[in-house]
């Protein structure tokens, strides 16, 4: 996997993870018509991305390393937003 491909995976994953966090926060606040079910749907999509991207990274490295990388990407988003995705 090239570094450009890895950066694209990181970017897409972080977009989904951040989107899920924001939707979850809006649902808690009752903003923009979001509710618990909508927030859960976005969280499930983000989790699916985590597994899929981890699987894609495993093609070029060990599973534990791929898992650590994707978890690190999620941590970056959560630190930036000051909130965690509740699963």
Interatomic CA distance for residues 44 and 87, integer angstroms: 8
- Inter-axis angle of helices 3-29 and 63-81, to 10 degrees? 50
The answer on pLDDT for 85 being more than 90 is: yes
What was the pLDDT predicted at 63?
79
What was the pLDDT predicted at 64?
85
Please provide the average confidence, as pLDDT, over all residues in the chain. Answer: 93
**Mean per-residue pLDDT for 48-73?**
92
Residues in the chain: 87
DSSP H or E run through 49: helix 36-58
Q: Model confidence over 13-45: pLDDT tens digits? A: 999 999 999 999 999 988 888 898 999 999 999
What was the pLDDT predicted at 60?
87
The answer on pLDDT for 74 being more than 90 is: yes
Is the pTM higher than 0.95?
A: no
């Amino acid at each position: 996997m090239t570094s450009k491909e890895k950066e694209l995976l990181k970017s897409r994953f972080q977009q989904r993870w951040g989107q899920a966090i924001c939707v979850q926060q809006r649902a808690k606040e009752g903003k923009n018509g979001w509710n618990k079910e909508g927030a859960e749907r976005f969280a499930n999509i983000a989790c699916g991305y985590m597994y899929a991207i981890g699987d894609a990274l495993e093609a070029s490295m060990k599973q534990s390393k791929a898992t650590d990388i994707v978890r690190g990407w999620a941590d970056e988003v959560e630190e930036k937003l000051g909130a965690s995705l509740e699963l």
